[in-house]
Amino acid sequence: MDGTAQTKGRGGTRTLDVMSAIRAKVAGRALSAGDRLPSIRSLAATMSVSPSTVVEAYDRLAAEGLIRARRGSGFYVSPTAAPPLALAEAEPRRDREVDPFWVSRQSLDTDTAVPKPGCGWLPPDWMPEEALRRATRALARTEASVLTNYGSTSGSLTLRRLLLARLAEDGIEAAINQLMLTGSGTQATDLICRFLLRPGDTVLVDDPCYFNFRALLRAHQVRIVSVSYTPSGPDIARFEQILGSEKPRLYITNSALHNPTGATISLQSAHRLLTAAASHDLTIIEDDIFGDFEPERSPRLAALDGLNRVIRIGSFSKTLSASVRCGYIAARPDWIEHLVDLQVATSFGGPSPVASEIIANVLAGGSYRKHMDELRQRLTRTRRDIARKLQALSIEPWLMPRGGFFLWCRLAGGQDATQVARAALNEDVVLAPGNVFSVSQTSQNFMRFNVTHMNEPRIWDVLRRALMAAPA
């Protein structure tokens, strides 16, 4: 990735625009291998840029291998420039578009020393470290087959039994053949989408919603529609209308401690939502990944529905370990059977058996409940402290969540959150600007803060400067 230096000025941005336009045409198969590119003069006119900008863009695309110059006859798409599924532009890291991948790539790949109030996980010292070490030592002593063999196609029976007991606490009575383990919570959602969706289908999400739902749905080439999220769940009147007019095949939501807002659906909304879903044959994925952070259990769609049209998914990445990757799906037994086949076809199984062994060991031990109790108390204090400090900067929480580590906040000064996030990144602080969560792109004045990553005083200085610098 060279050429970064050239992209700084205004001319550089135009070069990137031309490159993006060509890449998009190749990705969308409007230009195929061997096709001739527009002449420099004509593209310069079309895009209102100078010919030298187009020349630079073509040269850089040629250096990347996407296009090739033929002497005296212009530029052509390379035979190897496949028309692949380009989910986002492959820009140098810092320059990349603030798209649904922005937060994940920045927060996963930036050096661990960089503070990340935009990230979606807890710091190591908030996790059950001792229980994890104990479980790993136990793993080192277990029978050889656990350390060397593939697991069963539905995943560890021990862990699935532990999960059934936990589902029962949520009011979800499921049989063992209604539960499978997956490589991660995201992979659970992805498998279900592969099973249920076809390109062109319509999928409904909340607005705002977890940004990776948008990235995932892009990969499925479906049409995304959104319903605004209120403090008691999705706007139900609007939800009912959308079901009638847009006919979505699937709705994906978090019902306990919704990401990013921290809101929780009310019992009444849950009932109306399921009634509407039944009359329009809508399937629902209820992602319960933050459920364990609730002080007391809220209504679950899966419990009301009895795992009929609601598919419950979850993982342990937020409460136990994101390094020990494992998710699960609870659904109708016939769907689970097909989903297991699909997971064999596409991953030859679910999580690493060593990973599910560690998780089962931690969950079975008595310390996990105690850890979660302490964690919830610590989070209550931290949410309150951070909310106060944010308010001093005119950053107002949209609501005070009952649990979890996110505060979804409005920049009361009216600043553009994307600009604030870009300015903060230039000072090595990763933030999560509102519009990465918004299908309708109406959250430009919102920001999601992870209260557990805001201890460092420098963050607050950077935030203050970034707010000052951003246009209101």
Sites for its own copies among residues 333-372 (CB under 8 A): 333-335, 337-338, 341-342, 344-349, 351-355, 358
CB of 197 to its own copies, least distance (A): 9
Q: Does 157 bind its own copies (CB under 8 A)?
A: no
Say if CB 438 and CB 107 are below 8 A apart: no
CB of 294 to its own copies, least distance (A): 21
211-230 positions binding its own copies, by CB under 8 A: 212, 215-216, 218-219
Residue 439: name the closest of 246, 159, 182 by CA: 246
Strand pairing of 250-253 and 202-207?
parallel
Q: Which is nearer to its own copies, 88 or 372 (CB)?
A: 88
Residue 453 CA to chain centroid, in angstroms? Answer: 18
> Dmax of the chain from CA atoms?
75
Q: Does 113 bind its own copies (CB under 8 A)?
A: no
Say if CB 73 and CB 39 are below 8 A apart: no
Q: Is 140 exposed, middle or buried (0-12, 13-18, 19+ CB in 10 A)?
A: exposed
CB of 169 to its own copies, least distance (A): 25
380-419 positions binding its own copies, by CB under 8 A: none
Q: Which is nearer to its own copies, 101 or 398 (CB)?
A: 101
**Which of 5, 70, 141, 366 touches its own copies by CB under 8 A?**
141
13-42 positions binding its own copies, by CB under 8 A: 33-34
Q: Does 79 bind its own copies (CB under 8 A)?
A: yes
**Which of 21, 47, 55, 87 touches its own copies by CB under 8 A?**
87
CB of 81 to its own copies, least distance (A): 9
Residue 359: CA count within 13 A, CB half-sphere: 32
**Cβ neighbours of residue 110 under 8 Å, at least 6 residues apart?**
116, 428, 430
Q: Which is nearer to its own copies, 84 or 366 (CB)?
A: 84
Q: Which amino acid is it at 312? A: R
**Cβ neighbours of residue 398 under 8 Å, at least 6 residues apart?**
261, 408, 409, 410, 446
Number of residues that bind its own copies (CB under 8 A): 95
Kind plus residue range of the DSSP H or E element containing 80: none
Q: Which is nearer to its own copies, 187 or 415 (CB)?
A: 187
232-291 positions binding its own copies, by CB under 8 A: 278, 281, 283
**Which of 41, 137, 378, 458 touches its own copies by CB under 8 A?**
137
